[in-house]
Amino acid sequence: MLSKYPKFRLIFISIFLASIILGLLDKFALSQTFSETGYYGIFIAGLLYSYSFSGAFSAGILLAISNSQQNLNPFIGAIIGGLAAGLSDLFILKYIKENLTEEIMGFLHEKYIEAISSKIHTRIKKIFNPVLGIIFIASPLPDEIGLTFLSGIQNLNKWYLFAFCSLLNGLGIFIILSI
Protein backbone atom coordinates (compact mmCIF):
# COMPACT_ATOMS: atom_id res chain seq x y z
CA MET A 1 0.00 0.00 0.00
CA LEU A 2 2.75 2.48 0.90
CA SER A 3 4.27 1.99 -2.55
CA LYS A 4 1.36 4.04 -3.92
CA TYR A 5 2.21 6.87 -1.51
CA PRO A 6 5.93 7.66 -1.68
CA LYS A 7 5.70 10.75 0.56
CA PHE A 8 3.95 8.78 3.30
CA ARG A 9 6.57 6.07 2.97
CA LEU A 10 9.30 8.67 3.39
CA ILE A 11 7.56 10.04 6.49
CA PHE A 12 7.38 6.59 8.11
CA ILE A 13 10.97 5.76 7.17
CA SER A 14 12.22 9.06 8.64
CA ILE A 15 10.37 8.48 11.93
CA PHE A 16 11.74 4.94 12.08
CA LEU A 17 15.31 6.07 11.34
CA ALA A 18 15.14 8.92 13.86
CA SER A 19 13.95 6.45 16.50
CA ILE A 20 16.81 4.08 15.70
CA ILE A 21 19.39 6.88 15.71
CA LEU A 22 18.12 8.21 19.04
CA GLY A 23 18.12 4.68 20.45
CA LEU A 24 21.69 4.01 19.30
CA LEU A 25 23.12 7.31 20.46
CA ASP A 26 24.46 7.28 23.92
CA LYS A 27 22.03 9.38 25.94
CA PHE A 28 24.91 11.01 27.77
CA ALA A 29 26.59 12.02 24.51
CA LEU A 30 23.32 13.40 23.11
CA SER A 31 22.64 15.28 26.33
CA GLN A 32 26.18 16.65 26.39
CA THR A 33 25.94 17.77 22.77
CA PHE A 34 22.75 19.75 23.24
CA SER A 35 22.93 20.75 26.90
CA GLU A 36 25.13 23.73 26.13
CA THR A 37 22.81 25.09 23.44
CA GLY A 38 20.07 26.25 25.83
CA TYR A 39 17.33 28.34 24.27
CA TYR A 40 19.16 28.43 20.94
CA GLY A 41 18.95 24.63 20.83
CA ILE A 42 15.25 24.83 21.70
CA PHE A 43 14.73 27.24 18.79
CA ILE A 44 16.49 24.84 16.38
CA ALA A 45 14.54 21.89 17.82
CA GLY A 46 11.35 23.95 17.41
CA LEU A 47 12.11 24.49 13.73
CA LEU A 48 12.54 20.74 13.34
CA TYR A 49 9.54 19.86 15.56
CA SER A 50 6.90 20.36 12.89
CA TYR A 51 8.43 18.40 10.05
CA SER A 52 7.62 14.74 9.62
CA PHE A 53 11.22 13.96 8.75
CA SER A 54 12.68 15.45 11.92
CA GLY A 55 9.89 15.53 14.53
CA ALA A 56 11.11 12.47 16.43
CA PHE A 57 14.70 13.74 16.40
CA SER A 58 13.51 17.14 17.60
CA ALA A 59 11.68 15.54 20.51
CA GLY A 60 14.94 13.75 21.42
CA ILE A 61 16.84 17.04 21.33
CA LEU A 62 14.21 18.71 23.54
CA LEU A 63 14.39 15.82 26.02
CA ALA A 64 18.19 16.05 26.05
CA ILE A 65 18.02 19.79 26.72
CA SER A 66 15.39 19.37 29.43
CA ASN A 67 17.49 16.68 31.15
CA SER A 68 20.62 18.83 31.08
CA GLN A 69 21.89 20.60 34.17
CA GLN A 70 20.99 24.03 32.79
CA ASN A 71 18.31 25.90 34.63
CA LEU A 72 16.00 26.59 31.68
CA ASN A 73 12.48 27.87 32.16
CA PRO A 74 10.08 25.51 30.31
CA PHE A 75 7.63 28.39 29.72
CA ILE A 76 10.24 30.49 27.93
CA GLY A 77 11.46 27.40 26.08
CA ALA A 78 7.89 26.62 24.99
CA ILE A 79 7.43 30.16 23.65
CA ILE A 80 10.73 30.08 21.74
CA GLY A 81 10.19 26.56 20.41
CA GLY A 82 6.52 27.21 19.64
CA LEU A 83 7.33 30.31 17.58
CA ALA A 84 10.01 28.41 15.66
CA ALA A 85 7.60 25.54 15.01
CA GLY A 86 4.94 28.03 13.90
CA LEU A 87 7.36 29.37 11.29
CA SER A 88 7.90 25.83 10.06
CA ASP A 89 4.13 25.30 9.84
CA LEU A 90 3.83 28.28 7.48
CA PHE A 91 6.27 26.53 5.14
CA ILE A 92 4.42 23.23 5.60
CA LEU A 93 1.10 24.80 4.63
CA LYS A 94 2.63 25.99 1.38
CA TYR A 95 4.06 22.49 0.82
CA ILE A 96 0.67 20.86 1.50
CA LYS A 97 -1.08 23.07 -1.01
CA GLU A 98 1.53 22.29 -3.65
CA ASN A 99 2.48 18.64 -3.03
CA LEU A 100 0.89 16.60 -0.29
CA THR A 101 -2.85 17.22 -0.62
CA GLU A 102 -3.19 14.99 -3.68
CA GLU A 103 -1.45 12.08 -1.95
CA ILE A 104 -3.44 12.47 1.28
CA MET A 105 -6.72 12.67 -0.63
CA GLY A 106 -5.77 9.54 -2.59
CA PHE A 107 -5.08 7.74 0.68
CA LEU A 108 -8.41 8.87 2.15
CA HIS A 109 -10.20 7.44 -0.89
CA GLU A 110 -8.76 3.94 -0.44
CA LYS A 111 -11.51 1.30 -0.15
CA TYR A 112 -10.92 0.40 3.49
CA ILE A 113 -10.52 4.03 4.59
CA GLU A 114 -13.76 4.97 2.82
CA ALA A 115 -15.49 1.94 4.40
CA ILE A 116 -14.46 3.09 7.87
CA SER A 117 -15.27 6.71 7.08
CA SER A 118 -18.75 5.87 5.76
CA LYS A 119 -19.64 4.29 9.11
CA ILE A 120 -18.76 7.45 11.03
CA HIS A 121 -21.53 10.01 11.31
CA THR A 122 -20.86 13.41 9.68
CA ARG A 123 -21.26 15.28 12.97
CA ILE A 124 -18.63 13.10 14.59
CA LYS A 125 -16.27 13.73 11.66
CA LYS A 126 -16.74 17.49 12.03
CA ILE A 127 -15.60 17.22 15.65
CA PHE A 128 -13.09 14.41 15.22
CA ASN A 129 -11.09 15.94 12.33
CA PRO A 130 -10.16 19.18 14.14
CA VAL A 131 -9.32 17.24 17.32
CA LEU A 132 -7.04 14.91 15.36
CA GLY A 133 -5.46 17.93 13.65
CA ILE A 134 -4.79 19.60 16.99
CA ILE A 135 -3.23 16.41 18.39
CA PHE A 136 -0.94 16.06 15.36
CA ILE A 137 0.15 19.70 15.52
CA ALA A 138 0.77 19.76 19.28
CA SER A 139 2.79 16.53 19.22
CA PRO A 140 6.02 15.75 17.40
CA LEU A 141 3.90 13.80 14.89
CA PRO A 142 3.85 15.20 11.34
CA ASP A 143 2.20 18.63 11.21
CA GLU A 144 1.57 18.05 7.50
CA ILE A 145 -1.09 15.53 8.45
CA GLY A 146 -2.47 17.71 11.25
CA LEU A 147 -2.86 20.68 8.91
CA THR A 148 -4.64 18.46 6.42
CA PHE A 149 -7.14 17.39 9.08
CA LEU A 150 -7.73 21.09 9.65
CA SER A 151 -8.42 21.60 5.95
CA GLY A 152 -10.84 24.43 6.63
CA ILE A 153 -8.12 26.34 8.47
CA GLN A 154 -6.04 26.57 5.28
CA ASN A 155 -8.24 29.48 4.22
CA LEU A 156 -7.36 31.42 7.37
CA ASN A 157 -5.05 34.36 7.35
CA LYS A 158 -1.47 33.06 7.57
CA TRP A 159 -0.79 35.08 10.74
CA TYR A 160 -3.80 33.54 12.53
CA LEU A 161 -2.54 30.14 11.44
CA PHE A 162 0.97 31.03 12.67
CA ALA A 163 -0.43 32.05 16.07
CA PHE A 164 -2.64 28.95 16.32
CA CYS A 165 0.14 26.53 15.36
CA SER A 166 2.69 28.32 17.56
CA LEU A 167 0.36 27.97 20.53
CA LEU A 168 -0.29 24.26 19.90
CA ASN A 169 3.36 23.43 19.20
CA GLY A 170 4.42 25.49 22.22
CA LEU A 171 2.07 23.41 24.38
CA GLY A 172 3.62 20.19 23.07
CA ILE A 173 7.14 21.52 23.55
CA PHE A 174 6.28 22.67 27.09
CA ILE A 175 5.12 19.14 27.95
CA ILE A 176 8.36 17.65 26.59
CA LEU A 177 10.53 20.22 28.40
CA SER A 178 8.66 19.58 31.65
CA ILE A 179 9.35 15.83 31.62
pLDDT in tens, the chain (179 residues): 556 777 777 777 777 777 777 666 665 666 677 767 889 999 999 999 988 778 877 888 898 888 876 788 999 999 999 999 999 988 887 776 666 667 767 776 777 777 777 777 777 877 888 888 899 999 988 887 888 777 665 566 788 889 989 999 999 999 999 98
Q: What letter would DSSP give residue 50?
A: T
pTM as predicted: 0.77
Torsion over CA: 96, 113, 10, 145 (sign): positive
* Total domains, the chain: 1
Q: How many CB atoms lie within 10 A of CB 148?
A: 24
Task: Give the domain range for residue 59.
Answer: 2-178
Angle between helices 101-108 and 111-119 (to 10 degrees): 70
Q: How many CB atoms lie within 10 A of CB 162?
A: 17
Q: How many CB atoms lie within 10 A of CB 174?
A: 19
